[in-house]
Amino acid sequence: MNNNQIKRYCLALDLIDDPALIAQYEYWHQAENGWPEVKASIQSSGVLQMEIYRTGNRLFMIIEASNDFDFNRKAQEDANNAIVQQWENMMSKFQKPLSWAGNGEKWVLMNKIFQLQSPDF
């Protein structure tokens, strides 16, 4: 797939600042512990790659998705998927929305403010 056909999104979310809860959250995000139905749901929405990074209790998610990926459509699909809802409910006990997040919003989309690119890239 050509890079012009891929969109990149960066999102942020906090975890409850409790080392035991953070360890549990990381446990559920290890490849062997994630739910296959949730992974399939993510991939079927047009997400090609997803990474989550943590520093302290702050999470950053990087998504690379096809041009037809749509957050609103993904939210509707998730709302109608009982397994995804079970996963989201379980994850909610670890997550703490950012203070500026909208009502009911977990992951907050970040705005790109800088880019440095090698001339050879």
DSSP letters of 19-49?
Answer: HHHHHHHHHHTSTTTS-HHHHHHHHHTTEEE
pLDDT at 104: 87
Q: Is residue 114 part of a domain?
A: no
- Select from 101, 100, 90, 6 the least CA-distant residue to 47: 6
Q: How confident is the model at residue 118 (pLDDT cuts 50, 70, 90)?
A: confident
Beta bridge partners of 64: 8, 49
Quick check: 87 pLDDT over 60? yes
Quick check: 121 pLDDT over 80? no
Q: Is residue 115 part of a domain?
A: no
Q: Is residue 43 part of a domain?
A: yes
Compute the residue count for the chain.
121
pLDDT in tens, 66-86: 999 999 999 999 999 999 999
pLDDT at 113: 97
Q: Is residue 61 part of a domain?
A: yes
Q: Is residue 117 part of a domain?
A: no
Domain around 45: 3-109
pLDDT at 120: 81
Q: How confident is the model at residue 112 (pLDDT cuts 50, 70, 90)?
A: very high
pLDDT in tens, 1-54: 555 689 999 999 999 999 999 999 999 999 999 999 999 999 999 999 999 999
Domain containing 87 — which CATH number?
3.30.70.1090
- Select from 105, 29, 42, 51 the least CA-distant residue to 78: 42
**Residue 91 DSSP one-character state:** H
**What is the number of structural domains in the chain?**
1
Give pTM, 2 decimals.
Answer: 0.89
